[in-house]
Amino acid sequence: MQRKLPLLTPENSAFWQGGANGELLIYRCAGCARWFHPPAPVCPTCNSTDVGPEPVSGRGSVYSFTVNHQAWTPDLADPYVVAIVELDEQPGLRFLTNIVGSPPDAVTIGMRVRVTFLHCEDVWLPQFEQDA
């Protein structure tokens, strides 16, 4: 099947489309300065509504990962890496993504990574590659 893509909303479009300008945009609270994900119209820590997307460095490290071997559909026959990456900006600021550009067996927890965008229709998927 084709890659499943998200339905864009006022809250999530910055995350899914920031890559058009080469930016990874993550929501941040002006009240308490904390970053949070997934994006929402209110800060989960202090409930301030003074929140919005801001660019992050796009650098982080692999928090955990798995090499998928099951061909759920014929297009997924080759092993691929699903990972959770923690961004440098804040401990615990992390999301699920893919690690690309390395052999799946080379990925390790703690590996330094940087964002790279996969353009699909009107969405730029933030994936990560090894940060040499």
Partner 1 sequence: MTRQFAAITGIGQSEVARPSSRSAMQLTVDAALEAMRDAGLTSRDIDGVACWPGDNDNGSPFSPVGPLALKSVLGIETNWYGGGYEAPGPLAAVINAAIAVKAGLCRHVLVFRTITESSARQVDRNVSSLANKTQGRDGSYFWQWYTPFNARSAINMIAMYAQRHFHEFGTTSEQLGWIPVTLRAHAALNPNAIYRKPITIEDYLASRMISTPLRLLDCDVHCDASTAIIVSALDAARDLPNPPIRIEAVGSALSKPWSWDQISLTEMATADVGRMLWSRTDYRPSDVDTAQLYDGFSILTLMWLEGLGFCSVGEGGAFVDGGTRIGLGGALPLNTNGGQLSGGRTHGLGYVHEACTQLWGRAGERQIRQNRVAACAGGGGPLGGALLLVKE
Residue 65 has which token pair?
Answer: 């990962």
Rounded Cα–Cα distance for residues 19 and 12 (Å): 13
Residue 27 has which token pair?
Answer: 């929501």
Least CB distance to partner 1 at residue 12 (A): 7
Closest by Cα among 36, 23, 34 to 114: 23
Q: Is 116 in the site for partner 1 (CB under 8 A)?
A: no
- CA atoms 30, 35, 15, 39: torsion sign: negative
Tell me the per-residue interface mask from 19 to 48 with partner 1, x by CB under 8 A, - otherwise.
------------------xx-----x----
Least CB distance to partner 1 at residue 116 (A): 13
Q: Which residues contact 47 (CB under 8 A, 6 or more apart)?
A: none
Across the strands, what pairs with 24? 56
- When the beta carbons of 44 and 101 are compared against partner 1, the nearer one is 44
* Of the residues 65, 111, 115, 116, which one makes contact with partner 1 according to CB under 8 A: 65
Q: Is 96 in the site for partner 1 (CB under 8 A)?
A: yes
Q: Is 64 in the site for partner 1 (CB under 8 A)?
A: yes
Rounded Cα–Cα distance for residues 112 and 61 (Å): 4
Where does this chain bind partner 1 (CB under 8 A)? Answer: 1, 3-9, 12, 37-38, 44, 63-70, 72-73, 76, 80, 82-84, 94-98, 109, 120, 123, 125, 127
